[in-house]
A and B are shown apart, each in its own frame.
Chain A
Amino acid sequence: MQDTLKIGDRLFKSRLLLGTGKYSNVDLMVRSIQASGSQLVTVALRRFNRERPEDDLYGPLSKLSGVTLMPNTSGARTAEEAFRAALLGRELTGSEFVKLEIHPNPHHLMPDPIETYEAAKMLVKENFFVLPYMPADPVLAKRLEDLGCAAVMPLGAAIGSGRGLQTRELVELIVRDSTIPVIVDAGLRSPSEAASALEMGCSAVLINSAVAAAEKPVEMAEAFALGVRAGRAAYLAGLMPSGCEAIASSPLTAFLTT
């Protein structure tokens, strides 16, 4: 049986979600998405500027087959603003998926749990598949699940920080109790961290900076795809128990001593 990830009403083969920000050019972004094998890709909104047609993302993104776009609500500081941003994102992409993110403080970009919860409530009612970026808080995760969110996306560390999975123990608690996919979003830097998240039972990871800001983004996208596959395979295989005492894996019979 094929191992697929179900989010909302959709099945995905890839467990790597990729962002489209920070690439030095659009061609590199497109090739990185292709190399990653990602099937769910985030996009943001900005004001239209007739003076800068080279910034257009529609043309390049339409070249990608098998990719679902997920607009984010970046820039929103309140539930109302996020709700509007989500409606605009749906207008622009036709996608029912929304990455709900509300982070009012530009210094740490930590998600506002109260506004996020209120926005999720409104968006679920509008039949969006809501994927909230959230603090790694098991109680909030359960509340968002109860609202009808399609997945929860606890942060590993601050956005773009590359600090890795700092929230490991809390994410473990979220995974243990969730019946919807848990996707680590933000903070990851290396494919081994992505593998580690999948090994502990996370359903997927969302990566942007770690690929876009790598020396070679296309190669790093492929490396993340491998990391995610390794982690998932290990999770399905079932890790051995761990403990403090040694347990010999070779016979200890003393046949060399007399």
Chain B
Amino acid sequence: MKLIINGESRQTAEATTVAALILQEGADPGRVAVLLNDRVVPAREREATTLREGDRVEMLTLAGGG
């Protein structure tokens, strides 16, 4: 199915969870936070959150800033 991950269109397997997507993207689960269609998905809900066709996922991490 098609997802928009960090603004880019991507193909993934059906019934992917947020937890699985984080690993698939090569991220350390403890070092990213996730927005799904503009809603924050807390770490404890990642396993239970299944992605749907066309979902917009933002995967964020820390950066330097003032």
Contacts and interface: CB of A to CB of B under 8 A. Distances in A.
Interface of A: 19-23, 29, 42-50, 55-58, 61, 71-72, 74, 84, 87-89, 91-93, 159-160, 186, 206, 208-209
Contacts of B59: 47-48
Nearest first, the 7 closest Cβ-Cβ pairs linking A and B are A44-B65, A19-B66, A208-B66, A46-B63, A91-B33, A50-B26, A20-B64
B60 A48 contact: yes
B58 A57 contact: no
Given A88-B35, A88-B40, A55 B63 contact: yes
B3 to A, nearest CB: 14
B51 to A, nearest CB: 16
Nearest to A81: B38
Interface string B1-28: 0000011000000000000000001111
Tell me whether chain B's interface is mostly helix, strand or loop, or mixed.
mixed
B42 A45 contact: no
Interface residues of B, number: 24
Interface string B44-66: 00000000000000111111111
B13 to A, nearest CB: 18
A159 B31 CA distance: 28
Contact of B61 (A22, A42, A45, A206): A45
Interface of B: 6-7, 25-28, 30-33, 35, 38, 40, 42-43, 58-66
Contact of B66 (A21, A45, A46, A61): A21
Nearest to B40: A87
Contact of A91 (B6, B28, B42, B66): B42
B64 A57 contact: yes
Given A91-B40, A92-B33, A50 B25 contact: yes
A205 to B, nearest CB: 12
A48 B38 contact: no
Contact of A43 (B30, B40, B58, B65): B65
Contacts of B30: 58
25 contacts: A21-B66, A22-B64, A44-B63, A45-B61, A45-B63, A47-B58, A48-B61, A57-B61, A57-B63, A58-B31, A58-B62, A61-B62, A74-B65, A84-B38, A87-B40, A88-B40, A89-B33, A91-B33, A91-B43, A92-B32, A92-B33, A92-B60, A93-B62, A206-B66, A208-B66
Nearest to B6: A47
Nearest to A83: B40
A22 B62 contact: no
A68 B61 CA distance: 17
A44 B64 contact: yes
B43 to A, nearest CB: 7
Contacts of B31: 56, 58, 92
